[in-house]
């Protein structure tokens, strides 16, 4: 499964808006419930981190997906596993 396919599934399932704000880093600057939702979607695999890391509002680093252990929360592999499960 490729990113293009995942992004199409995200559009169909309503996750695309959240993926956009994760991609541009604004998810970490909005109200707390938005950040918590982003983290939940990253954990389950519905969304993934971008290739670029960000600094959060409190100086914390939000890593890029390539800085994480393969298959863990926020990685592309985690999203591939999620979408392969739900489309099987």
In order along its 88 residues, the chain shows pLDDT tens digits of 899 999 999 999 999 999 999 999 999 999 889 999 999 999 999 999 999 999 988 899 999 999 999 999 999 999 999 999 999 8
Give the per-residue pLDDT at 82. 97
Nearest CA to 46 out of 17, 88, 70 is that of 17
Number of Cβ within a 10 Å radius of residue 81? 14
DSSP code of residue 69: P
Q: Is the dihedral of CA 28, 31, 36, 41 positive or negative?
A: negative
Give the per-residue pLDDT at 88. 86
Side-chain half-sphere exposure of 57, counting CA atoms within 13 A: 8
> Two tokens at 35?
């950040």
Give the per-residue pLDDT at 1. 87
CA 19 from chain center: how many Å? 6
How many domains, the chain? 1
Residue numbers of the domain that contains 7: 3-87
Give the per-residue pLDDT at 24. 96
């Amino acid at each position: 499964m490729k990113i293009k396919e995942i992004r199409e599934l995200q559009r169909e399932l309503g996750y695309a808006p959240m993926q956009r704000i994760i991609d541009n880093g604004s998810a970490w600057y909005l109200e707390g419930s938005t950040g918590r939702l982003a983290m939940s979607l990253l954990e389950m695999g519905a969304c993934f981190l971008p290739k670029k890391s960000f600094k959060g509002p409190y100086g914390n680093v939000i890593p890029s997906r390539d800085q994480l252990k393969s298959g863990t929360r926020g990685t592309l592999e985690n999203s591939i596993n999620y979408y392969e499960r739900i489309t099987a």
